[in-house]
Amino acid sequence: MFSVSFMNIEQANSAAEDQRRVAIFKALAEQNRLRIIRVLYQTHREMTCSEVGAQLNISKSTVSYHFKALRVVGLTNTRQVAQTKYLSLQLATFDRYLPGFLATL
Amino acid sequence: MFSVSFMNIEQANSAAEDQRRVAIFKALAEQNRLRIIRVLYQTHREMTCSEVGAQLNISKSTVSYHFKALRVVGLTNTRQVAQTKYLSLQLATFDRYLPGFLATL
DNA sequence: TTCTTAGTTCGACATTAATCGAACTAATAA
DNA sequence: TTATTAGTTCGATTAATGTCGAACTAAGAA
């Protein structure tokens, strides 16, 4: 029966996993954050809030907001040197939830 | 200089492509739509609004809203038989923008 | 024709998200 | 010490999103 197979599938994927997927998609569903991800991937460079703010022409509070959005869902890492924070990609998260995605950028 | 490499990358990815990516992520960044995608993928079956509404326990107007959201960004196909519309995955879109994603479900 | 079934569209409402400036902390430089 | 630089947090505002029920269209059944 259809309802049976549907239930099995729902059970096989925990609600927690699903929430994680939705959170990751939400994080990527925004133009500026997507640009940040692409630059991090294509330049093989870390970035700071100041750099991003200057390039994307958005206020530093907004950049900080986007950096946090990417970090809390595990898409990026933060390395701090004094008061400067360097952002880089957390490749393990991409590999697990979006394998092959970065290469499409 | 950093700004130069950044600009080149921005140019290499058209604004249209980026908007498409954002639209696709937005479509997937919702619990019920993600469930619909998973069921379509794992059952290798088409689905109707009625079926989805019954299984996910949401109103038919909401189901219709989600079906449209998936269709307009090209994640799904619709095959109509009389007044019934059958939804299926448009695999080409996944292959191009999210290769490997479906297999993680 | 009348009734049912499958979806769509239209307000309306509540929730979330993006953005900014201002005020803040903390580290470094002058 | 004072000034500068890098980020964060806090309202506030505006825009977008998810949800529903009600009214609608269109196809088939009785």
Whether B28 contacts chain A with CB within 8 A = yes
Domain-located, residue A9: no
| A6 in a structural domain | no
Question: How far in angstroms lies nucleotide D7's C1' from the CA of residue B90?
Answer: 43
Residue B10 located in a structural domain: no
Q: Are A9 and B104 a contacting pair at CB < 8 A?
A: no
Kindly report the CATH number assigned to the domain that includes residue A52: 1.10.10.10
B35 and chain A in contact, CB less than 8 A:
yes
Q: How far is the CA of A66 from the C1' of D5 (A)?
A: 20
Higher pLDDT, B90 or B82: B90
Query: Is B8 part of a structural domain of the chain?
Result: no
Residue A42 lies in a domain: yes
H/E stretch holding B12 reads helix B2-12
Residue A2 lies in a domain: no
Residue B47's φ and ψ, nearest 5 degrees, are: -130, 155
Taking CB atoms and an 8 Å cutoff, what residues of chain A touch B36?
Answer: none
Q: Which two tokens stand for residue A71?
A: 């970090």
Compute the distance between CA of residue A91 and CA of residue A75 in angstroms, rounded to an integer: 7
* Predicted pLDDT at A13: 64
Please, what's the largest Cα pairwise distance for chain B? 60
Chain A residues touching residue B18 (CB < 8 angstroms): 31, 34-35
In a domain, B72, yes or no: yes
What's the structural domain count of chain B?
Answer: 1
In a domain, A10, yes or no: no
Place of tokens 């394998």: A99
For residue B28, the enclosing domain spans: 15-104
Which tokens hold the place of B99?
């290769």
User: What digits encode the pLDDT tens for the residues B44-81?
Assistant: 889 998 888 888 889 999 999 999 999 999 999 999 98
Residue A52 binned pLDDT confidence (cut-offs 50, 70, 90): confident
Closest by CA position to B88, among listed B72, B75, B103: B75
- Asked if B8 reaches chain A (Cβ–Cβ under 8 Å), the answer is no
State the DSSP string of chain A: -HHHHHHHHHHHS-HHHHHHHHHHHHHHSSHHHHHHHHHHHHHT--B-HHHHHHHHT--HHHHHHHHHHHHHTTSEEEEEETTEEEEEE-HHHHHHHSTTSGGG-
